[in-house]
């Protein structure tokens, strides 16, 4: 198969629009918005709700280019298994729409553009972190882990959590505990996110010999691990409130409601490990969860929210002190 692609036998003739679409597909574009949402949440936290709009645009653009480069390299490396798996067969390289050599040039151009943009308009740390995301996703996850260990996405998940660090670094030029905490939340979120999906498509992974957890240890053990990671992840979301104090009560309320729902889903899955629709719903919820949690961070850190909660607290204090038993 690789030979076939390498010799270009399967190459397709496409018009300009189709070529553009093929390169766009190489970047696995549906995943990028959520990576940018975690970057944005981090930028809002780092700037106490006052993000410089230009820096935001530049950082998100740099992040998009870096993630697109990483995904393109992954498409090149995994072209053999992508050809065999149902879900990935139509990707541009296995379907012969883009040649491997051209994809490589595309990935390099994207990475160079990302590095330049971030270095010039944000800072060197943000640029280096974005590049480390590419290296880790490609070198550590795709090359070393994906085909060799059931812990592939646990360790590899660190790549997907790096955009949170990029966001913080772009604002402050530095990293602190809060930045690492958001990194840890995304890191711990990745196993429930991915294993719920892997439960649905484990036959596909089994076919190409990828040792995704459900393929090797089965559904029951996988749902146990999803349960444990969900509990630790949800608990970790509160560390941003205490002891870190980066976010407050509004985020706390949102994290509680969202976390409770995630725990419920994982619990149901734990007791119904073969329920594929439930696994699908848990996977979809994991995405909504991360989106809304990040939105919660943004809303919580806005100066308007601070003044609103301060006013509510003051009024509550006045009301409480007017009640005789509290006087």
Ligand X SMILES: CC(C)=CCC/C(C)=C/CC/C(C)=C/COP(=O)(O)OP(=O)(O)O
Helix intervals (H) in the chain: 2-7, 16-26, 32-46, 53-77, 79-84, 100-121, 124-135, 152-172, 177-200, 202-207, 213-237, 249-271, 276-301, 303-322
Judged by phi (left if over 0) then psi (alpha if -120 to 50, else beta), residue 175 lies in: beta
**Is 83 a residue that touches ligand X (CB under 6 A)?**
no
- Using a 10 angstrom Cβ sphere, with 0-12 exposed, 13-18 middle and 19 or more buried, the burial of residue 149 is middle
- ω before 243 within 30° of 0 (cis)? yes
- Using a 10 angstrom Cβ sphere, with 0-12 exposed, 13-18 middle and 19 or more buried, the burial of residue 208 is middle
Q: Judged by CB, which is closer to ligand X: 133, or 296?
A: 133
Give the footprint of ligand HEM on residues 32-71 (CB under 6 A): 34-35, 38
**Is 282 a residue that touches ligand X (CB under 6 A)?**
no
Q: Which stretch binds ligand HEM (CB under 6 A): 45-53, 153-161, 224-232, 264-272?
A: 153-161
- Binding-site partner at residue 197 among ligand X, ligand HEM, none, CB < 5 to 8 Å by type: ligand HEM
- Residue 248 tokens read as 């407050």
Q: Judged by CB, which is closer to ligand X: 92, or 160?
A: 160
Give the footprint of ligand X on residues 30-59 (CB under 6 A): 31, 35
- Shortest Cβ 318–ligand X spacing (Å): 48
- Binding-site partner at residue 30 among ligand HEM, ligand X, none, CB < 5 to 8 Å by type: ligand HEM
Please pick, from the candidates 11, 50, 87, 148, the single residue that binds ligand HEM as defined by CB under 6 A: 87
Please pick, from the candidates 62, 92, 163, 191, the single residue that binds ligand X as defined by CB under 6 A: 163
**Is 134 a residue that touches ligand X (CB under 6 A)?**
yes
Which one-letter DSSP state was computed for residue 36?
H
- Shortest Cβ 31–ligand HEM spacing (Å): 4
Contacts to ligand HEM by CB under 6 A: 30-31, 34-35, 38, 87, 141, 153, 156-157, 160, 186, 190, 193-194, 197, 287, 290
């Amino acid at each position: 198969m690789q030979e076939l692609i390498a010799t270009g036998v399967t190459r397709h003739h496409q018009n300009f629009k189709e070529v553009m679409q093929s390169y766009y597909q190489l970047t696995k574009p549906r995943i990028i918005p959520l990576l940018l949402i975690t970057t944005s949440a981090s930028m809002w936290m780092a700037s106490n709700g006052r993000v410089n709009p230009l820096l935001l645009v530049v950082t998100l653009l740099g992040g998009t280019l870096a993630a697109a480069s990483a995904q393109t390299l992954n498409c090149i490396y995994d072209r053999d298994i992508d050809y065999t798996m149902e879900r990935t067969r139509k990707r541009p390289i296995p379907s012969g729409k883009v040649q491997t050599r051209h994809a490589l040039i595309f990935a390099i151009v994207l990475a160079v553009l990302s590095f330049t943009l971030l270095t010039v308009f944000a800072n060197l740390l943000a640029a280096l972190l974005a590049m480390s995301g590419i290296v880790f996703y490609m070198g550590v996850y795709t090359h070393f882990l994906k085909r060799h260990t059931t812990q592939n996405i646990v360790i590899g998940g660190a790549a997907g959590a790096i955009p949170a660090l990029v966001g913080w670094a772009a604002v402050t030029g530095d990293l602190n505990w809060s930045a690492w905490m958001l990194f840890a939340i995304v890191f711990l979120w990745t196993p429930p996110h991915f294993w719920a999906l892997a439960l649905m498509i484990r036959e596909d992974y089994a076919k190409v010999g990828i040792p995704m957890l459900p393929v090797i240890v089965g559904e029951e053990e996988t749902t146990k691990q999803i349960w444990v990671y969900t509990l630790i992840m949800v608990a970790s979301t509160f560390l941003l409130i205490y002891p870190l104090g980066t976010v407050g009560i509004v985020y706390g309320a949102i994290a509680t409601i969202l976390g409770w729902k995630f725990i419920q889903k994982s619990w149901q899955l734990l007791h119904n490990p073969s329920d594929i629709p439930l696994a699908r719903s848990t996977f979809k919820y994991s995405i909504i969860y991360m989106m809304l949690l990040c939105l919660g961070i943004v809303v919580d850190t806005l100066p308007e929210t601070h003044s609103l909660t301060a006013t509510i607290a003051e009024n509550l204090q006045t009301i409480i002190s007017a009640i005789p038993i509290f006087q």
